[in-house]
Amino acid sequence: MTPPELVVRWKAAWESLDPARIEDLYAPGATHMSSVVVERMNRADGTLRSLSEIRAYAEAAAGRLASFKADILQVIVDETDSAGRASVEYWRVLNGNEEGRTRAVEIIEWSGNKITACRVFHF
């Protein structure tokens, strides 16, 4: 399985915990939805709706995590030359705690080389 370039960039950016690099993944007007957003950003609907909100979320993650790793298990892709979407299933490892890893699935949609929507599901 060779993930599309956007998924490779998504993984590298989040694993870097660099808020600027993470923000740069997203298009203006992009959304990012997750139950973690509900908990960490006090958003009842769990949705971030701007680059500044996504960057604030990335800054919060970088401030509380020593490391983040996404061990990709499977990627299902539907893409054209200019857009696409992927379902990315992975083990989420925080702060090097392999025994405490959790499973996650992200549905990532993009246009050009920027994410337009991301929905994260934690199991």
Q: Which residues on neighbouring strands pair with residue 114, listed in sequence order?
A: 111
Instruction: Kindly report the CATH number that applies to the domain delimited by 5-122.
Output: 3.10.450.50
- 0.75 surpassed by pTM: yes
Element (H, E) at 54: helix 51-64
Long-range pairs of 106-111 with CB within 8 A, sequence gap ≥ 24:
106/10, 108/6, 108/7, 108/10, 109/83, 109/84, 109/85, 110/6, 110/27, 110/83, 110/84, 110/85, 111/27, 111/82, 111/83
Nearest by Cα to 34 from 100, 123, 118: 118
Spatial separation of the C-alpha atoms in residues 119 and 85, rounded to whole Å: 11
Task: Output the tens digit of pLDDT for each of the chain's 123 residues.
Answer: 689 999 999 999 999 999 999 999 999 999 999 999 999 999 999 999 999 999 999 999 999 999 999 999 999 999 998 999 999 999 999 999 999 999 999 999 999 999 999 999 999
Q: Which residues on neighbouring strands pair with residue 47, listed in sequence order?
A: 33
DSSP state of 66: S
